[in-house]
Amino acid sequence: MQTSSESIFFNECYSLDLFNYPTHYSGDLDCVIIPHGVIMDRTERLARNIMDDLGDHDIVVLCVLKGGYQFCADLVERIKALSRNSNHTIPMRVHFIRLRSYLNDQSTEDLHILGAEDLSFLAGKGIVGTGKTMETLLQHVKAFKPKMIKVAGLLVKRVQHSLASVPDYVGFEIPNRFVVGYALDYNEYFRDLNHICIISESGKKKYKV
């Protein structure tokens, strides 16, 4: 699929033996798809791109919990650092909403949006949303008529015939596999893992509900 937003293609999967990771997850993971350091370096560049595009606007960052919290926190931190070191600073406000649609590794029909009842403060502001399940949320957010909406997603999965819109800022394109770590969970586990990894079959069984 040809997209306008550039991103890094990740096909390789690194052996877990090459990295440190919490020993309580040994046996639960197959491999490391994106090491933490690479995530941080890529996030720094996304922050630069966002600054270049939105530098003249006040922005409201809409962080999609729970899976987006780490990416959002690191991205905001990078934008602040770039702001500090330049003579053009971006006033930023950060708001949190929660989406939940996954049970085990399957997407469920009902998507819950919590904390999004009143987003009227968005009117006339620019937004950078971070998170993964964006379609429903975007419809909801558009109703509040912000001046501009930009979506930042750390990961995009390569799926055939995808009708989903591509985020304006994409960190990495990965194969269509269930991944965990860097705040992404499997039934609430693995958020405390820094690298983005592929969960193993035994890991899926162990934490199944």
Q: If you count DSSP H runs as helices and E runs as strands, how many of each does the chain have, helices first?
A: 4, 10
10 Å Cβ neighbour count for 174? 22
- CB–CB of 25/60 below 8 Å? no
Q: Residue 184 CB, nearest distance to ligand HPA (Å)?
A: 4
Q: Which is nearer to ligand HPA, 59 or 197 (CB)?
A: 197
Tokens representing residue 44 in the block: 């720094």
Total of residues contacting Mg ion (CB under 5 A) = 2
Distance CA 91, CA 76 (A): 11
Distance CA 44, CA 76 (A): 10
At residue 19, φ and ψ (nearest 5 deg) are -130, 165
Residue 59 partner contact from Mg ion, ligand HPA, none using kind-dependent CB cut-offs of 5 to 8 Å? none
Q: Which is nearer to ligand HPA, 141 or 197 (CB)?
A: 197
Binding ligand HPA (rule: CB under 6 A), the pick from 102, 169, 172, 182 is 102
Total of residues contacting ligand HPA (CB under 6 A) = 8
Q: Which is nearer to ligand HPA, 51 or 65 (CB)?
A: 65
Distance CA 89, CA 83 (A): 5
Binding ligand HPA (rule: CB under 6 A), the pick from 25, 39, 67, 171 is 67
Q: Which is nearer to ligand HPA, 64 or 79 (CB)?
A: 64
Binding ligand HPA (rule: CB under 6 A), the pick from 36, 132, 150, 195 is 132
Residue 125 partner contact from Mg ion, ligand HPA, none using kind-dependent CB cut-offs of 5 to 8 Å? none
Residue numbers 152-191 binding ligand HPA by CB under 6 A: 178-180, 184-185
* DSSP string for residues in 162-173: --SPPPSEEEEE
Rounding to the nearest 10 degrees, give the CA dihedral for residues 38, 155, 99, 53: 90
Binding footprint of ligand HPA on the chain (CB under 6 A): 67, 102, 132, 178-180, 184-185
Binding footprint of Mg ion on the chain (CB under 5 A): 102, 185
